Amino acid sequence: MGATRREFLEAGAIIGAGAAVAATAAVTARLDHRTTDPVGEETVRHIDVLPSVPPSPKEDVLIRMQRDLARAMAKPVEQRRWVMIIDTRKCVGCHACTVGCVAENHLPPGVVYRPVVTEEYGEYPHVQIRFFPRPCMQCDVPPCVPVCPVHATWKRPDGVVVINYDRCIGCGYCITACPYNARSRDLGEYWLDGAAEADTPSELPILGQNAPWEKIPSNEYAKSWDRTKGSPVGNARKCHFCLHRLEVGQLPMCVTTCIGRATYFGDANDPDSLVSELMAAPNVIRLLEHLGTEPRVRYLI
């Protein structure tokens, strides 16, 4: 029988570091098993992409990436290697990817999968700024995985690091371990919580606290997650390359909403894919590469 989130929190409330460690060990012993991801033919998806539109050297990069995605999904999951490349020369800091991600995954206040970090560089008077959208790096050596006491987070065969919300106990170890600050905790808040604290009834939201659109379940990991009934409230949350969209032949939301076509996504195991072509560029970098995490998100500078 698995430990509940309440049991873990009650155990962690015991005063003293030694007692907390003992409680964590007890929880680990009760959940000492790992998730086995499906592989092979059952993971193959045959997706028709614009059958009436012939490929063209001048076609929009979104169309090319859509074709790349269809080829990748036609292979078993263990033969795919998802990679994201972000061109900082094209990013204008509009935050369309951030907003699109919030809308796609129904993210609550305090949970952001793709913030945009602003960097100022150069010396006065020759100072410039550039923008770094920062999704989960989907590291090949993810520091967030080994610290989880209940094996609620792991790396899939295609390289995406995922979280099992039903198993996560909300300890926050993975949040602390991530050097990119790519994880956050769902505290159960809603966007209209503050607005519902009006001084007069006329100032209250028309739909009241927790409007219907805030209660729409999220489709992350191709499941339905109703926050009004529990998970992912209390859990750690992060970018997952929109796996639920990939399953039906759609690119990640941040890719399709980018107004400058600054985000590229695809299978690095496909030598004909756009990402394979861009990965060979001399101006490609990875963040905090010295840490040895081997991130799968790259940047063109």
The answer to whether residues 20 and 154 belong to one domain is: no
Residue 192 lies in a domain: no
Confidence of residue 194 (pLDDT cuts 50, 70, 90): low
Confidence of residue 155 (pLDDT cuts 50, 70, 90): very high
Residue 281 lies in a domain: yes
**288 is in which domain, residue-wise?**
43-186+213-300
The answer to whether residues 272 and 241 belong to one domain is: yes
Alpha helices, DSSP H, located in 44-95: 61-73
Tokens 């209940």 locate to 150
The answer to whether residues 6 and 103 belong to one domain is: no
The answer to whether residues 49 and 25 belong to one domain is: no
Percent of the chain with pLDDT strictly greater than 70: 83
Judge contact between 160 and 244, C-beta under 8 A: no
Q: How far apart are the first and last CA of the chain?
A: 50
The answer to whether residues 113 and 5 belong to one domain is: no
- Residue 193, pLDDT > 80, answer no
Judge contact between 222 and 243, C-beta under 8 A: yes
Taking the CA atoms of 97, 105, 143 and 178 in sequence, report the sign of the dihedral they define.
positive
DSSP, collapsed to helix, strand or coil, labels residue 205 as: coil
Residue 38 lies in a domain: no
Alpha helices, DSSP H, located in the chain: 5-12, 17-30, 61-73, 96-105, 173-177, 243-246, 253-257, 274-279
What tokens were used for 49? 């992409």
Residue 67 lies in a domain: yes
Residue 73 lies in a domain: yes
DSSP, collapsed to helix, strand or coil, labels residue 23 as: helix
Please report the pLDDT score of residue 285 as a whole number. Answer: 97
Q: Whole-prediction pTM value? A: 0.84
Judge contact between 154 and 162, C-beta under 8 A: yes
pLDDT, tens only, 99-147 = 999 999 999 999 999 999 999 999 999 999 999 999 999 999 999 999 9
Report which DSSP code applies to 225: B
Percent of the chain with pLDDT strictly greater than 90: 74
What tokens were used for 258? 């980018």
| Number of domains within the chain | 2
The answer to whether residues 13 and 144 belong to one domain is: no
Alpha carbon distances (Å) from 39 to 36, 53, 77, 138, 156: 9, 32, 6, 19, 10
Residue 217 lies in a domain: yes
Which one, of 94, 260, 216, 240, lies nearest residue 159 by Cα? Answer: 240
The answer to whether residues 176 and 248 belong to one domain is: yes
